[in-house]
Amino acid sequence: MMQKTIFNLDPMISILNAGKVIGLPTDTVYGLAADARSDCAVAEIYALKSRPSFNPLIIHVHDLQKAQLYGHFNEDALRLAHYFWAPAKTASALTIVVPYKNASGISSLAMAGLDTIALRVPNHPLALDVLAKFDGPLAAPSANPSNYLSPTTANHVRAAFPELPILDGGACTLGIESTIIWCQDNNLVLLRPGIVTQQDIEQVLEKTITKAKTDNTSIRSPGALKKHYAPKKPLIMNVKTPLPGDAYIGFGPDYPSAMNLSETGDLKEAAGNLFRYLHTADTQNKQRIAIAPIPDSGIGQAINDRLSRGAK
């Protein structure tokens, strides 16, 4: 773990106060963070990422109390926030989509004009320090150009955005984007799978939830586009025997490789290594990226979700 005290955050806070964008480490992936109340700051995020303006951003806050300034939390949402956003939770990477509190000051550009808001409390000491010092909401999508692989190290961010001020918090511990759950009225919909699994959520709420359909037209989940997270090279899933020209990413003892997502077949470890190996494979002198089969249960669903959107 990084020594918190060696960081002087003041320059980063000044940049945020000036309405500019910084690279911010979180527990999941690095984000491109800026003041969520400023249309100009948010517009810079969209421009940097070449992100379509219909795809809303996650708003990062320091704690549940701050989140409640901007969103209406029903009983389910409160229960999830209390459980997954409590400090020192290991599986905390949950984004909760709730009805927006009108006129609470978030840029409508950040929310892509929707009447719901996606809120998340990142579980990373530096991100929390920045949120405490900045004392405002930060819009932060993953720090990758739209549709490219998500960044799990400061170097990934630097390679994509050489001019950007980046707060280097080391490699992200979870390595895959937060789970997204929609909570409105009696509706509970899993919009994006992640380290927090459907079963984890069902256990906390003691009820079943539905999974969003993955198509390009769903209004509920504007960012769940079919094509996403794509490396530059062709990506092939479920490869048991790689071809000679392949950069092969293995999994478990049955599908070994120099790049093995998890030698013991641990899905959480595999999720943590996924984007790092994809970045590495994408820069190797190989024709395509081939990935071993990943079991489609629990965290494996999050891995296969990202892979199937990146596969050609």
Binding site for Mg ion (CB under 5 A): 142
The 8-class DSSP code of residue 29 comes to S
Query: Do residues 169 and 86 lie in contact, with contact meaning Cβ atoms separated by under 8 Å?
Result: no
Question: Is the four-CA dihedral 133, 119, 23, 6 of positive or negative sign?
Answer: positive
Of 29, 126, 128, 157, the one binding ligand TXA (CB under 6 A) is: 29
Residue 15 interacts with ligand TXA (CB under 6 A): yes or no: no
Size of site (CB under 6 A) for ligand TXA: 29
Q: Which of 23, 137, 141, 310 binds ligand TXA (CB under 6 A)?
A: 141
Q: Is 28 in the site for ligand TXA (CB under 6 A)?
A: yes
209 binds ligand TXA (CB under 6 A): no
Cβ closest to ligand TXA, residue 111 vs residue 247: 111
Nearer to Mg ion, 142 or 152 (CB): 142
Nearest Cα residue to 242 out of 191, 294, 170, 291: 291
Range 68-105 burial, b when 16+ CB lie within 10 A, else e: bebbebbebbebbbebbbeeeeebbbbbbbbbbeeeee
Answer yes or no whether residue 118 interacts with ligand TXA by CB under 6 A: yes
Cα 152 to Cα 27, 172, 224, 270, distances in angstroms? 9, 5, 20, 13
Kind plus residue range of the DSSP H or E element containing 268: helix 267-283
Query: What's the helix, strand, coil split of the chain in %, to 5?
Result: 30, 20, 50
- What binding mask, one character per residue, do residues 52-71 give for ligand TXA by CB under 6 A, x or -? ---xxxx-------------
Among 45, 94, 140, 205, binds ligand TXA (CB under 6 A): 140
* Site membership for ligand TXA, residue 117 (CB under 6 A): yes
User: Which residue, 85 or 255, has its beta carbon nearer to ligand TXA?
Assistant: 85
Kindly tell me which of 68 and 152 has the beta carbon lying closer to Mg ion. 152
Question: Is the distance from CB of 252 to CB of 265 less than 8 angstroms?
Answer: yes
CA-to-CA distance for 185 and 254, rounded, in angstroms? Answer: 45
E strand spans, the chain = 22-24, 31-35, 59-60, 94-99, 116-120, 138-139, 179-184, 187-192, 210-211, 235-236, 246-250, 259-260, 288-291
Contacting ligand TXA (CB under 6 A), which of 64, 114, 164, 237?
114
One-letter amino acid at 106 equals I
Diameter of the chain by CA atoms? Answer: 58
Out of 72, 101, 158, 220, name the contact with ligand TXA by CB under 6 A: 220
Nearest CA among 150, 160, 215, 84 for reference residue 140: 150
**Exactly one of 15, 20, 23, 26 binds ligand TXA (CB under 6 A); which one?**
26
Q: How far is the CB of 264 from Mg ion (least distance, A)?
A: 28
Of residues 71, 151, 223, 242, which one binds ligand TXA by CB under 6 A? 223
- Tell me if 190 contacts ligand TXA by CB under 6 A: no
**160 binds, options Mg ion, ligand TXA, none, Cβ within 5 to 8 A by partner type:** none
- Nearest residue (CB) to ligand TXA, 30 versus 251: 30
Q: Which residues of this chain interact with ligand TXA, rule CB under 6 A?
A: 26, 28-29, 31, 55-58, 93, 95, 97, 114, 116-118, 120, 122, 140-142, 177-178, 180, 191, 220-224
